[in-house]
Amino acid sequence: MSDQMTPKQAGFHMPAEWDTHERTWMMWPSRPEVWDDMGETRRNYTAVAHAIRDFEPLTMLVRPDDVGQARSLLGDDIDILEHPIDDIWARDAVPCFLTDGKGGKAGVSYGFNAWGRKYHPYDGAAGAMVKAAGCRLFQSPMIAEGGSISVDGRGTILTTESCLPNANRNPD
């Protein structure tokens, strides 16, 4: 397979939002200017993570400076992936996972610019996540948030005009 192949050419597609999956990925709260009470936010976030972990594996992406506190709150039953991140917006800032219908997995990483450069810096974690998941990485030339699209697994995509074609993301 050529490195120039698109996911579609390589036989991959994005599964439906409701398809089964192997694990949940979350990102640890890390941008104090967004939260009224970072301590309370992290405790609440921990409760959500444990509620999910009761049903499936969970990996939390955590900034290097926050690993100690995250580990003390999350415990040992939640995997931690140490990596520079922006905040909790995993659905927007991490890759969308793909499948080939034969057990193969890949990730597609969109360029992420923090909702049109709303926050700086905006560190992406797609490469680290895809590597941790043992998948192939496809890099999209589009600036997008993963949460700006919804798919049905059959080729239908729903998005909004305020995101993908917005001048602060994809002016062309």
Q: What tens digit of pLDDT does each residue of 54-72 get?
A: 999 999 999 999 999 999 9
d(CA 110, CA 139): 6
Of the CA atoms within 13 Å of residue 74, those in its CB half-sphere come to 28
Chain mean position to CA 12: 18
pLDDT at residue 1 tops 60: no
The answer, yes or no, to whether residue 103 has pLDDT greater than 50, is yes
Specify the 3-state DSSP secondary structure of 44: helix
Domain spans of the chain, in order of start: 24-158
Half-sphere exposure of 136 (CA within 13 A, CB side): 18
Among the residue ranges 41-45, 50-54, 70-74, 137-141, the one predicted with the least confidence is: 137-141
d(CA 115, CA 136): 26
CATH T-level fold of 24-158: L-arginine/glycine Amidinotransferase; Chain A (3.75.10)
Residues 152, 85, 127, 103, CA torsion sign: negative
Sequence-distant (6+) residues with CB within 8 A of 23 are 56, 57, 58, 59
Which tens digits make up the pLDDT trace of 107-151?
998 877 777 777 776 667 888 889 999 999 998 888 777 778 888
Q: What is the mean pLDDT of the chain?
A: 88
Q: In this structure, what DSSP letter does residue 10 have?
A: T
Give 146 or 74, the one with higher predicted confidence: 74
Paired tokens of 130:
């895809």
The DSSP string of 54-122 is: TTS-EEEEE-GGGHHHHHHHH-SSSEEEE----SS-HHHHSPEEEE-SSS-EEEEEEE--HHHHTSS--
Token reading at 109: 């990483």
Unique residue bearing structure tokens 């797609």: 126
